[in-house]
Amino acid sequence: MALRERKKLRTREAISTAAIELFVEHGFDQVSITQVAEAADVSRRTLFAYFPTKEDLVVHRFADHEDEPARVVRARPADQSPLVALHTHFIERLRAHDPFTGLTDLPQVLDLYRLLRGTPALMARMLQFNETSERELASALHETAGTPELTARLAAAQIASVHWTLAMSNFDRCASGTSAPKALPTAVKAANQGFALLSSGLAPLWPTTEGSP
Amino acid sequence: MALRERKKLRTREAISTAAIELFVEHGFDQVSITQVAEAADVSRRTLFAYFPTKEDLVVHRFADHEDEPARVVRARPADQSPLVALHTHFIERLRAHDPFTGLTDLPQVLDLYRLLRGTPALMARMLQFNETSERELASALHETAGTPELTARLAAAQIASVHWTLAMSNFDRCASGTSAPKALPTAVKAANQGFALLSSGLAPLWPTTEGSP
DNA sequence: GTGCTAATCTGCACTTAGTCTACTTTTGCA
DNA sequence: TGCAAAAGTAGACTAAGTGCAGATTAGCAC
């Protein structure tokens, strides 16, 4: 990689790191773009060349994971169902304490999560990420499993929402002080339940005599 | 209702109507708050007394439906499962061409939907509505069906996402010119499939020999 | 090294969303 | 009619984000 490219990456990291540090310490709304630019030793204008909005200074760190579910579905063995592939992968990442699952002990990541949850503007941006992820997952299901389009969209929506719920739930436990290894068994159980609900449906939760309309 | 209250409501409506009219004609980003205030014949500052953000000028029209799923679950007969209640209700609203379902012929509503879909900032705001709706549904499930908290959250997430997907799918059909009565059968079939997936799970979609991990 | 080109960085002015404060108008009611 | 409270207004202010014109700097040819 050329010097120019490397320098750009370093600058980008420097800006984002400075931003998150300031945001974590003083709060997202209490720190201005100008202050971030000063801390990172670049001009305000340059900062906007790297990050289109203030929110992106924080959430770009999750951009890598945006297409993870779709990739997992596309990369699965031919004889494996998408749901099993996603389940297996999630449990695997959980055991690896991948921040992607919400289960982590890294103080920096926990701070980052706390910042996200406490800032509506950032949560809104994360939901958009989630929607992109969902759309890509729908495409992957449609293209690799032959699922009809609407069906794929419905399934992807369910899967993405369960995924998000599990990650938030895991994070909440870690943020409130439980260590990752200690939270792992609960997290695995939760993940198993989430994927079981996806796989077998919600009907067994509320058994009644009445049928559907 | 007192004169003061009535006048406030009228002002609120006038502002929102003027705003939507302008936004639909020229685009959300091409119209400034100042222009909206002028069109509604109030001061900029007064406008902000009624609507906290520019986005709210548009999306407040959906605020009524925010807690609809939770209400349906709470109001269901004692012997009915939450899922059946929600399914029945959705089909009912579909037949009534309730804009809440995305199925409508009212040109104003269609314009409004088109505006939403074409404006990322507005979609982001709608996703937040959806999340609130999901949280309230989770509470309703937890409190009225005795579902454990995490289970309720997972179920609510799935239900809310299917709901949203169905509404968007119906809207897309209507926005592309299909009349509501003509789109109804397809919409009912889609709803039945969505709720069937929720009820019985995704496993049957992708039958394989391999089990879960 | 020298110089050229193109990418990058910067300063500055500008627009717009949203807030704050102090002041005026209107409404409900005695 | 008069008064207290609610609602509306004017105008200055902060901060995000954009456009532009000029200064720097990397990459490369010689």
Q: Are residues B112 and B168 in the same domain?
A: yes
Question: Residue B213 domain-assigned?
Answer: no
Asked if pLDDT for residue A213 goes beyond 90, the answer is no
pLDDT of residue A1: 65
B7 touches strand D (CB under 7 A): yes
pLDDT of residue A96: 96
Question: Residue A142 domain-assigned?
Answer: yes
Question: Residue B71 domain-assigned?
Answer: yes
Q: Are residues B36 and B135 in the same domain?
A: no
Q: Are residues A167 and A112 in the same domain?
A: yes
Nucleotides of C under 7 A from a protein CB: 7-12, 15-21, 27-29
Q: Are residues B66 and B154 in the same domain?
A: yes
Interchain proximity B202–A125, CB inside 8 Å: no
pLDDT digits (tens, 9 = 90+) for A127-175: 999 999 999 999 999 999 999 999 999 999 999 999 999 999 999 999 9
Question: Residue B167 domain-assigned?
Answer: yes
Predicted TM-score of the model (pTM): 0.94
Question: Residue A208 domain-assigned?
Answer: no
Question: Residue A211 domain-assigned?
Answer: no
Q: Are residues A99 and A163 in the same domain?
A: yes
Residue A44 is part of a domain; what is its CATH number? 1.10.10.60
Give the residue numbers spanning the domain of A19.
3-54
Minimal-distance CA residue of chain B relative to A198 = B201
Instruction: Please name the member of A120, A155, A164 whose beta carbon is closest to the beta carbon of B205.
Output: A155
Where does residue B211 rank: exposed (0-12), middle (13-18), buried (19+ CB within 10 A)? Answer: exposed
Q: Are residues A87 and A118 in the same domain?
A: yes
pLDDT digits (tens, 9 = 90+) for A23-40: 999 999 999 999 999 999
Q: Are residues A109 and A46 in the same domain?
A: no
Average pLDDT, integer, range B46-72: 96
Number of domains in chain A: 2
Q: Is the distance from CB of A133 to CB of A198 less than 8 angstroms?
A: no
Task: Give helix A107-117 / helix A149-175 axis angle, nearest 10°.
Answer: 120
A1 touches strand D (CB under 7 A): no
- Checking each nucleotide's C1' against the CA of A47, the nearest proves to be C9
* Separation of alpha carbons B20 and B62, rounded Å: 13
Residue A77 is part of a domain; what is its CATH number? 1.10.357.10
Instruction: Please provide the DSSP assignment of A158-200 as one string.
Output: HHHHHHHHHHHHHHHHHHTT--HHHHHHHHHHHHHHHHHHHHH
A43 touches strand D (CB under 7 A): no
Interchain proximity B195–A212, CB inside 8 Å: yes
* Separation of alpha carbons B53 and B57, rounded Å: 7
Average pLDDT, integer, range B17-25: 97
Average pLDDT, integer, range B87-104: 96
Residue B129 contacts A where some CB pair is shorter than 8 Å:
no
Q: Are residues A75 and A40 in the same domain?
A: no
Question: Residue A197 domain-assigned?
Answer: yes
Taking all atoms of strand C, which protein residues have CB closer than 7 Å?
A: A 4, 7-8, 11, 42-46, 49-50; B 2-4, 7, 31-34, 44-45, 48, 52-55
Interchain proximity B82–A125, CB inside 8 Å: no
Q: Are residues B171 and B139 in the same domain?
A: yes
